[in-house]
Each structure stands twice: as structure tokens, then as C-alpha cells.
Amino acid sequence: MKHFVYVLYSKSHDKFYVGMTSNLEKRLFAHNNLPKGWTKSFRPWVLAYFEEYSTKSEALKREKSLKSHLGREFIQNEIISKTL
């Protein structure tokens, strides 16, 4: 089974969100359409970046890394500012 670490971006609120899932398409739909959760306040979300992993433990490790201070700097400097 594939696992994905992803970064969503809300241009209207200049916010990003890091998450992990095994179904990227379904998860993006949920962030933009489900009536609950932190991300509902910052819609619409676009998929800014993702990485694919073969194990859940690898994906969780990378998700944790991207949520760190250095990971958030990487997202802002290498993903958000250069691609969006």
C-alpha cells in the first residue's frame, strides 16, 4: 500500500497544512468538503506538494519532519514561494 505525505495551501488565508494519507484524492476532497475540523476554516485548499512512501512508518516520520521548524521553513521557502 502506498502512503502519501502532502502539503495543502490556502491562498486566501496564506496558510499551509501538512498531513499523511493512503488515499490522496479522497483526503483532499475531505479537507475541502467535510463540515468539521481545523482545515474547514481556511478553504479552499489546493495540493501544493506530496511525497509517496511504501510504508506507513516512513510516511509518518517524514510528516513529523515537515511539521518541525526546519520542515516548515522548507515548505515556505521551497514549495510555497517557488510554486504557488
pLDDT tens-digit map of 6-62: 999 999 999 999 999 999 999 999 999 999 999 999 999 999 999 999 999 999 999
pLDDT at position 66 is: 98
Please give the span between the terminal C-alpha atoms of the chain, in angstroms, as a whole number. 30
Q: Which residues have CB under 8 Å from 10's CB, separation 6+? A: 16, 17, 42, 43, 44, 45, 46
- Counting Cβ atoms within 10 Å, is residue 20 exposed (0-12), middle (13-18) or buried (19+)? buried
Over its C-alpha atoms, the chain yields an Rg (Å, rounded) of 12
pLDDT at position 82 is: 83
- Which CATH class name applies to 3-83? alpha beta
